[in-house]
A and B are shown apart, each in its own frame.
Chain A
Amino acid sequence: MTEFIHHIPALIIVIPLLWGFATPLIGRLSKKGMYAWVVTALAITEALTIAQIYLVLTQGTQVYVMGGATYNTTIPPDSGGIPVRIILTVDAFSAFMAFTAATVTLAGGIYSITSEEGTSGESMYYTLLLLMLSGMLGMVMTGDLFNFFVFLEINSLASAGLIAYRVGKGISVEAAFKYAIISSVGALIYLFGVGILYGEYDALNLAMVASRMQFTGLDKVVMALFTVALAMKAGSVPLHYWVPDAYGKAPGAISAILVTASQASLYALFRVCFSLFGLGSNTLTTGWFLISLGLLSMFVGVTMALIQTDIKRLMAYHAISQTGYMLLGVGVGLATLGTAAFSQYGLQAMEGGIFHIINHAMYKGLLFLTAGAVIYRLGTSDLNKMGGLAHNMKYTTVFFMIGALSIAGIPPFNGFASKLMIYESTYLFNPILSIIAIVVSVLTLASFVKVFHSAFMGPKLYDVKEVPKAMLVGMAILTSLIILFGLFPNIAIQYLVGPAAKALANQAAYISSVMGGA
């Protein structure tokens, strides 16, 4: 039994991957069997991520050596002190991101059972869904720079395929094409940076490179390449242009899962800034880079969202805006790293930003699922053509209201809890940051009130029924976590967010978990 526990990190990545490849075969035999197969895979992955969180909380950072003699022989005795194999390094932040990704994909998968029913190529859809999940989980759990590139490509290609799933007279395919180009550019520039580091330090493992880092001129080039490429993949202004196209044309559940895919790139950005470069670099510069990206994303994202007339493009701009909050919180933490201010408010700012990651995945996922429900029944995503849906689709309206109140940060939902933490720690760094964050919050409320009126209020124009049960179950899973984190934020801080923030800030612990305490 104890042997099985040690293999959990590998199982989390491998189970969606292998079950995904088996899905088309089962799809040929029976549709219902395929649905059960996929939901089982997603549920098992979710359970394993929760078990992994428990493991990391009780036993510390988990390492897993792929193909090693034992699971934690990171440095084989005959290698000369170099960790040669691919090592999965799961600290509290990785476990947190894995839990977020698995939960949203589970809700999206259950939702897809009815939302994609009857479309052609359904088994391909579920295969790509499981591949996308495997890619995301690999991205957040790996400790190897090149392996991150591999999982990034798996994730991007699966996502591009899924965005183009509903051909939509070619418009979705165009969106997927733009997404593929941007992903390739970002990933290849990232690979170029990895190549430079490999040439300098003869190592691909993140902890190894961090322990050997000299901060030469070439390393400054790598800093620029990494941070900008990963910021583009995370969807922050001024590199955000692909986000409305990609999120806006993807099928209902995929937009929700794309949010967590972008957050996995955000994870990589934070990992590079904190654990790879750490305190040797000038954290004030990198911190202000993240803070500036955060401010721009928040404001430009929400002001562009206010004038949109397509429901999913509007929500995609809000995804950009909320990413700004995460960048702001963690950026303030990074800028104060190593100073006395870190223990006063820097760590709490990081906690606010990281708490916002899971809150955003929950409520943005819920909002995209409700948008998908509206499109499922009406066949159009143009807000100018909708109206009066609250008369018939009561559950969808209530779920939408909960999602909209959460994203605007209205008490007592979870958005308010993380935003409160961000406001009340970043103002000590610079009061202007909090002021802009509060103004963006009310602009967010304004644009969702606009969607609420256009789609749900007004006279009854369409005679539609409520959406099928599977879609409601998917939405309910996310809503329950929204309400749980809103009413009991201390649970999230104590078990999920607090350990994640401390693990991210602690570069020495990350290095020593792989290199063995030297």
Chain B
Amino acid sequence: MVGALNTYVTPSGFWNPILWLIAFLISLLLAYIIWSRGEKSYKKETEQVKPFFAGNVIESKERAHVRAHNIYWGFVEALRPYYMALKRIHTGDVNDYVAWFIGVTSFMLIIYFLWGVKP
């Protein structure tokens, strides 16, 4: 129907990027029209523009930035057993790397001997 020229078809669905992009830009225009009727100005260089710290005193900008290892605490905590096992496997020792290779090769040798070729 609309835009059948550029529709990307998969076995069970379809997707037309150009049409979406046009619709997105028009929606962006609609949102911008609503936005532009708002108040543009604010008092700069006052207490208002300082980041919100709920009354705590922060000495320097470095302390105000949440560091990478603190992010996603909830997710890592919920999957704790999985992550502990995973970190234990990744040792960094080359001997372990080659040991994994030998292990997987032997496993696949058995699999291919049993089911590798059509009978």
Residues of A within 8 A of B (CB): 177-178, 181-182, 185-186, 189, 215, 217, 219-221, 223-225, 227-229, 232, 238-239, 241-242, 245, 280-282, 284-286, 289, 300, 303-304, 306-307, 309, 344-345, 348, 352, 383-384, 387-388, 411-412, 416-417, 420-421, 424-425, 427-428, 446, 450-451, 453-454, 458-461, 486-490, 493
Residues in A with CB closer than 8 Å to B92 are: 241, 245
Residues in B with CB closer than 8 Å to A225 are: 105
0/1 string, B54-71, CB within 8 A of A gives 1: 000000011011111101
- Please give the distance in Å from B84's CB to the nearest CB on chain A: 11
Name the residue on A nearest B106 (C-beta). Answer: A224
- Is B104 a contact partner of A178 (Cβ separation < 8 A)? no
Residues in A with CB closer than 8 Å to B117 are: 215, 219-220, 280-282
Residues in B with CB closer than 8 Å to A219 are: 117
4 more contacts with CB within 8 A, not counting A182-B98, A446-B72, A459-B51, are: A178-B97, A224-B108, A424-B13, A488-B18
- Is A185 a contact partner of B17 (Cβ separation < 8 A)? no
| Bound form: Cα–Cα A458–B116 in Å | 55
Name the residue on B nearest A185 (C-beta). Answer: B98
Residues in B with CB closer than 8 Å to A245 are: 92
- Is B17 a contact partner of A412 (Cβ separation < 8 A)? yes
Residues in A with CB closer than 8 Å to B118 are: 280-282
Q: A185-B98, A228-B108 are in contact. Are A428 and B12 (CB under 8 A)?
A: yes
27 contacts between A and B (CB under 8 A): A178-B94, A182-B97, A185-B98, A223-B116, A228-B104, A228-B105, A241-B90, A241-B96, A281-B116, A281-B118, A285-B112, A285-B116, A289-B111, A303-B83, A384-B68, A387-B62, A411-B15, A417-B8, A417-B15, A424-B10, A425-B10, A425-B11, A428-B12, A450-B71, A453-B66, A460-B61, A493-B8
- Please give the distance in Å from A173's CB to the nearest CB on chain B: 13
| Bound form: Cα–Cα A454–B68 in Å | 6
| Selected contact of B65 from candidates A186, A189, A388, A425, CB within 8 Å | A388
- Is B10 a contact partner of A420 (Cβ separation < 8 A)? yes
Residues in A with CB closer than 8 Å to B26 are: none
| Selected contact of B68 from candidates A217, A228, A232, A309, CB within 8 Å | A309
Residues in B with CB closer than 8 Å to A309 are: 68-69
Residues of B within 8 A of A (CB): 6, 8, 10-13, 15, 17-18, 20-21, 51, 61-62, 64-69, 71-72, 75-76, 79, 82-83, 86-87, 90, 92, 94, 96-98, 100-101, 104-105, 108-109, 111-113, 115-118
Residues in A with CB closer than 8 Å to B10 are: 348, 352, 420-421, 424-425
Residues in B with CB closer than 8 Å to A384 are: 67-69
- Please give the distance in Å from B86's CB to the nearest CB on chain A: 6
- Is B97 a contact partner of A489 (Cβ separation < 8 A)? no
| Bound form: Cα–Cα A256–B97 in Å | 23
Residues in A with CB closer than 8 Å to B13 are: 420, 424
- Is B11 a contact partner of A345 (Cβ separation < 8 A)? yes
- Is A304 a contact partner of B90 (Cβ separation < 8 A)? yes
| Bound form: Cα–Cα A486–B24 in Å | 15
- Is A454 a contact partner of B86 (Cβ separation < 8 A)? no
Residues in B with CB closer than 8 Å to A241 are: 90, 92, 96-97, 100
Residues in B with CB closer than 8 Å to A217 are: 113
Residues in B with CB closer than 8 Å to A224 are: 105, 108-109, 111-112, 116
Residues in B with CB closer than 8 Å to A487 are: 17-18, 21
